[in-house]
Structure 1
Amino acid sequence: MSANKNILVAAEDVDDTNIVRELLCKEFDQVFISTDPDKAVQDFEQHSPAVLVLAFPTLARAQSYYLGLYRLSARAHAHPHRTLILCNKAELQEVYSLCKKDHFSSYVLFWPLGYDATRLGMEVHHALRQVALNEAETPTTSEFAAQARRIAGLEALLEMSLTQGSEHIAAGQQVVEQSGDDIRVALDGFASRFSTQGQQQLREAEGVDISVLELLQSEFARLQTEQIDVHLRTASSALQPVSDWAKQFRQNMAPEMESVRGLQQLTETRKPLVLVVDDDAFQHKLVARLLKDAGVELMFALSSQEAMAAIHRRRPELIFMDISLPDLSGIETTRRIKAIESFASIPVVMITGHSKKDVVVESLKAGACDFVVKPFDKAVLLKKFSTLLHME
């Protein structure tokens, strides 16, 4: 499937929008515009842009448009895209700060009109490239680390299987040797009946000629030496190649197991990524302090919009989601995360200050798997981390 290269320019002034569109059309083929606020959602969902250019004259209007799009569109949050905001010099520092927080992907100092038009094209190229990379079906770091942890158990499994196989081979050899001893004892007992004393007893009891007895005794001795012993040795030696194979297999696998151990060491340096979504920055600091030795990497978001941007940037292995967020509720945000196929398997734990039944029910319906109540208890947090991240 070809990469999405659609570009949508959103603004309220038609003339400004057309100027931006003409600049972009010099380098890009699929450039569309959206100037009617009542059709903002319709335009976005119709064109499904890889890059959304916000060409509003002020930051406040750009924020209002994008927040409205996020709240009203059922697809904007799930559709992979990059957002470029065109700003003026007076708002440059604030825009820069918002981009650092992932409210927007990047910015261009554009107003007064065309202040840095060349950089606009370059930023769009970068944005399209990033979207194409994100859409490529390559494993994320988290997914790779999870698979590596499973592979790391291969060495122990192979070693256990080889040990069990060697034990079975040794047991089989012992059985063959014991069977040989038992057969020899039985034959010796049977042959003893044809000893001098046995012959005398048989001759007196049965009247058998002694020459016949001597012949039978000789035949049994030959049978044991030339037939039974040979077959027992053959059976025993037949197990030896299997034993040799097991030893050789262990030797051949040694370099591969060394690679597995190296992969395991690399995996251990990569900590599981956990996203904490809470509109209270103090709670971020508190969680970071409580979990500083938990063996996980933390990233934080203050709102639903920040959380979705963070997830699209780096896929976490676990999400802690506050019920109350400033833009969308934690329940609705969880529902939207679970609606995206590539994120649906991420476990979400709801953060709440209460445990009302309706909140619990709605959270579970949205896809949450567990709850944690404020104020945070370190032992409880660590237990949930260990269980959900399979770190025990």
Structure 2
Amino acid sequence: MPSTPAQRCSVLVLADTTHDARGAVEPLRIDRVDLRVCPDPEGFVAAGDAFAADLVVLALRSLSRCREVLQLLYGGERAGRRGRQRVLLLVDKDTVREAFELCREGVADDYVQHWPIPLDGYRLRMSVHAWLRGVAAVRAAHGAPPGAAEAPTVATAAAAAAPAAAAPQRVPQVLLVDDDPFQYKLTRMMLADCGVRLVWRDRAASALQQLGDDPPQLVLMDIDMPQLDGIQAVRELRRLPGLGQLPVIMLTSHSDRERVVQSLQVGASGFVVKPFSKKMLLDVMAKHLKLPGLDASGPPTPATPAPHLP
């Protein structure tokens, strides 16, 4: 079991039944983790306004219902909350592919199989711990005292007039553009405890739209992709307003050296060769992005094996 974060963190749970809630909550009874369980979506959204949760867990049998609840939770003026919270889905074996798509779209961050087999409590705890370590690191980096919790968002004139420095720190967002789902799974696992939110797009065209709507702090761009390849995508990216300095790391194979040079010529910031290790990826990313989940000594050494990804 990995060490728990020094700060107290909070988890908000919505489940279809008391049995499902118990199955979701029992593995999360971890020291210094505050739990709040809601029996209905209305209470869940209300609790989201009053309870500054670090992690949101949905144990709902219907993933379309999950999507609806999350739209309510992060709709309108609540949208800024999404970047500060991790969304975890508990799913059954028949909805794993749909859950994967929700993660690919950025609606959720991770999923763990719950039904019909007993919940994989080990993987659930690993996913929770990885995120909470990142949350603790973000708070520590910005001077939040141990045990501090974010105040709930309240739309008032006084809040609007408050200085920007008082706003809650948003978790850095990393955009992965790669047409290989397996590469997404590997990258998600590598970055799980680094205090960043990973968003995946499997086509460069949709990634360029993502950049305009919600700019990340760093982009990981595969070179070889159908329709619009990584080099063309970087060329288009550099033409977008305000993105001239956005770090773009190219993902390439050993045979792509000439294309790496081409990508650097059109504005890429660096590259990493596939297959790459976690340390290789973090070393390149750290040159362009401060990773809150890492200290000055470099990448953390995992205390436990990496969780299995279905």
- TM-score (structure 2 length as normaliser): 0.45
Which has the larger helix fraction? 1
Q: Radius of gyration: which is bigger? A: 1
- TM-score (structure 1 length as normaliser): 0.36
Which has the larger strand fraction? 2
Higher relative contact order (CA 8 A, sep 6+): 2
